[in-house]
Amino acid sequence: MTKTELKYRFPSEYAEKIGFEYSNSTSNEHKKESGQFFTSKEISDFMGNLAQPKSDKISILDPGCGTAILSCSLIEKLIEKYSIQEINLSLFETDKIIIEETEKVISFLKRWLLEMGIKLNVKIEQTDFILFNSDVFSNNILFGNDAVQEYDYIISNPPYFKISKSDNRAQVAKELVYGQPNIYSLFMGISAKLLKPNGELIFITPRSFAAGNYFKAFRNSFFRNVSISNIHIFESRKKMFKNDNVLQENIIIRATKEKTSTINITVTECAKDLNKPQKYNYKTEELIDSNSKENILFIPSNSMEANTINVFRQWQNTLNDYNIQISTGPVVAFRCNGFLISDLALKVSVAPLVWLHNIKEMEFVYPLKKGIKQSYILDSEESRKVLLKNKNYVLIRRFSSKDDKSRLVCCPYFASYLKYKRIGIENHINYVYRPNGELSEEEIWGISALFSSKLFDTYFRTFNGNTQVGASELKQINMPPLERIIMIGKILKSTFKPTKIEIENIINNVLFETAYVKNRRSTNNFERVGTA
């Protein structure tokens, strides 16, 4: 052991310290470009501890290894659990400078293991993990592709950043890509293919892969190759990576090649209390709906959220079944710059333009000036391709801010609000409509109330971990029977300025209180209801 090494009990401690120093000496640009944020020892030990014993000779892969802290923790935790004789470790890293540091950690790890009679063989590949492993996408792998080495354990905190569709890495990993991919999903997708039949992978990543169109191709491939057995959630959005200003909703997952029938979810506030998590156990089919093509992964962080998922499971229809569609506003401001108008004195034919800021919770506010945002758009033959018929819509924000209490912010919009033939809806808004027809007032009130409710917000958060609200995600949400939606709408329509609490009560009463629904039906009396 060198003098420096003697200061540390574990190689992972040394790896953390070296990573800390390296991080302090590199620029934020460099970190951002290479997606370089180092795992703390608390998290890395937790991840290592998830691994289950296998044979006495094991192979480990650590793609995007940084200072190899994850490999160190994994090995330290495994040898606490059972006796190992030989370890083959493969590391991938593109940053030449950090590899010099990684080598110091590896020589410490080697000597530390040797003292316990364990042999460590290490390969450090200074190359792109995705391009290097492009062979996993060839069909031969089904019949045992000799070019591909498989592993018992794959542990990773991969880089997170978006790459373009034309990037070589997105090209080779086409199977995992739809639209613009995030590099972390390619690391996960490839790793799932590199596992031995009894292998397991342990990753810390953003939770954005759980839902949404952009990760659909990835989910299809990933869930074909592995089954998730464990998920850890951090409730706080606070800094997950020491010394680095990363605000992410990150999760830790363990997945195995062998099919599992249950998923264990653990929850802690942050990394500090990882030793005392709350624990929940779910059947796999409760959290992944493998019958739908979406393969969405629901991640409830408490039993209330799990119950909410069950409520939605019992409903059989989506809006599409009621001949109702959801689309995204067609006016992309920078492309339509020439059409946007703030000055009505120009005496040209115009249509109102609806922006995000016009949508408040259950309230359409127009006109509402915000900065230089123009309230009108030219209504000409040329601009008409981005305009919509002025009819009844439910307007839903595509982006919520971190301060918004609810992810889903929406309001009813009635054609009678604005006396124009056409309207413009800006691209940061989703709109709900009936193609070749009109949504009734009751449907508009009912759908708006539901999408604004605590029930829908809770459900939405179980699969969407970011602040974006995609039309595709809204489309696949199971809805209550149409007559219940209409009943909610009828009550609301005849309720003078209902408060948030009243709306919640109306929804709860109509959806869950059967007696109330019967009573309302027989009297057909939809006057204002109090806070039940």
Ligand X SMILES: C[S@@+](CC[C@H](N)C(=O)[O-])C[C@H]1O[C@@H](n2cnc3c(N)ncnc32)[C@H](O)[C@@H]1O
Instruction: Let me know if 261 is exposed, middle or buried by CB neighbors in 10 A (0-12, 13-18, 19+).
Output: exposed
Cβ proximity to ligand X, 48 vs 412, nearer residue? 48
Q: Where in 96-125 is the site for ligand X (CB under 6 A)?
A: 98
Instruction: Let me know if 240 is exposed, middle or buried by CB neighbors in 10 A (0-12, 13-18, 19+).
Output: buried
Residue 69 beta carbon to ligand X: minimum distance, rounded to whole angstroms:
5
Pick the binder of ligand X from 45, 93, 426, 457 (CB under 6 A): 93
- # of chain residues touching ligand X (CB under 6 A): 24
C-alpha distances (whole Å) from 23 to each of 13, 32, 159, 237, 420 are 15, 11, 14, 21, 57
Cβ proximity to ligand X, 103 vs 404, nearer residue? 103
Cβ proximity to ligand X, 38 vs 312, nearer residue? 38
Asked if 64 touches ligand X (CB under 6 A), the answer is: yes
At residue 44, the 3 state secondary structure works out as helix
C-alpha distances (whole Å) from 384 to each of 212, 331, 387, 428 are 30, 10, 5, 19
Binding map of ligand X across residues 130-169, x = CB under 6 A, - = no contact: x--------------------------xxx----------
Cβ proximity to ligand X, 94 vs 325, nearer residue? 94
Q: Which two tokens stand for residue 401?
A: 């801010």
Cβ proximity to ligand X, 95 vs 442, nearer residue? 95
Cβ proximity to ligand X, 218 vs 433, nearer residue? 218
Instruction: Give the position of tokens 């364990």.
Output: 118
Q: Which two tokens stand for residue 12?
A: 């992972």
Asked if 89 touches ligand X (CB under 6 A), the answer is: no
Going by C-alpha positions, the residue among 529, 433, 441 that lies closest to residue 485 is 441
Cβ proximity to ligand X, 170 vs 529, nearer residue? 170
Give yes or no for a contact between 130 and 172, defined as CB atoms under 8 angstroms apart: yes
Stretch that binds ligand X, among 66-74, 360-368, 429-437, 448-456 (CB under 6 A): 66-74
Q: Are strands 195-206 and 151-156 parallel, antiparallel or unpaired?
A: parallel
Stretch that binds ligand X, among 62-70, 226-234, 256-264, 382-390 (CB under 6 A): 62-70
Round to whole Å and give the CA distance between 58 and 46: 20
Pick the binder of ligand X from 58, 60, 65, 432 (CB under 6 A): 65
Residue 249 beta carbon to ligand X: minimum distance, rounded to whole angstroms:
15
Q: Which two tokens stand for residue 442?
A: 């009751």
**β-bridge partners, 63:** 92
Cβ proximity to ligand X, 250 vs 509, nearer residue? 250
Binding map of ligand X across residues 19-48, x = CB under 6 A, - = no contact: x--------------xxxxxx---------
Asked if 66 touches ligand X (CB under 6 A), the answer is: yes
Asked if 451 touches ligand X (CB under 6 A), the answer is: no
Give yes or no for a contact between 204 and 252, defined as CB atoms under 8 angstroms apart: yes
Q: Which residues contact 278 (CB under 8 A, 6 or more apart)?
A: 266, 267, 268, 302
Residue 155 beta carbon to ligand X: minimum distance, rounded to whole angstroms:
8
Cβ proximity to ligand X, 97 vs 346, nearer residue? 97
Residue 102 beta carbon to ligand X: minimum distance, rounded to whole angstroms:
9
Q: Are strands 393-397 and 410-413 parallel, antiparallel or unpaired?
A: antiparallel
Pick the binder of ligand X from 14, 22, 112, 129 (CB under 6 A): 129
Q: Which two tokens stand for residue 491?
A: 């009550």
**β-bridge partners, 231:** 253, 265
Round to whole Å and give the CA distance between 226 and 221: 9
Q: Which residues contact 335 (CB under 8 A, 6 or more apart)?
A: none
Residue 95 beta carbon to ligand X: minimum distance, rounded to whole angstroms:
4
Pick the binder of ligand X from 61, 69, 297, 503 (CB under 6 A): 69
Stretch that binds ligand X, among 58-66, 286-294, 357-365, 417-425 (CB under 6 A): 58-66
Residue 48 beta carbon to ligand X: minimum distance, rounded to whole angstroms:
11
Stretch that binds ligand X, among 57-65, 207-215, 438-446, 504-512 (CB under 6 A): 57-65
Residue 97 beta carbon to ligand X: minimum distance, rounded to whole angstroms:
9
Q: Which two tokens stand for residue 274?
A: 């990882």
Asked if 94 touches ligand X (CB under 6 A), the answer is: yes
Residue 153 beta carbon to ligand X: minimum distance, rounded to whole angstroms:
14
Q: Tell me how many degrees the CA angle 51-52-56 measures, rounded to the nearest 5.
A: 110
**β-bridge partners, 360:** 363
Cβ proximity to ligand X, 25 vs 401, nearer residue? 25
Residue 80 half-sphere exposure toward CB, CA atoms < 13 A? 12
Residues lying near ligand X in the complex (CB under 6 A) are found at 19, 34-39, 63-66, 69-70, 92-95, 98, 128-130, 157-159
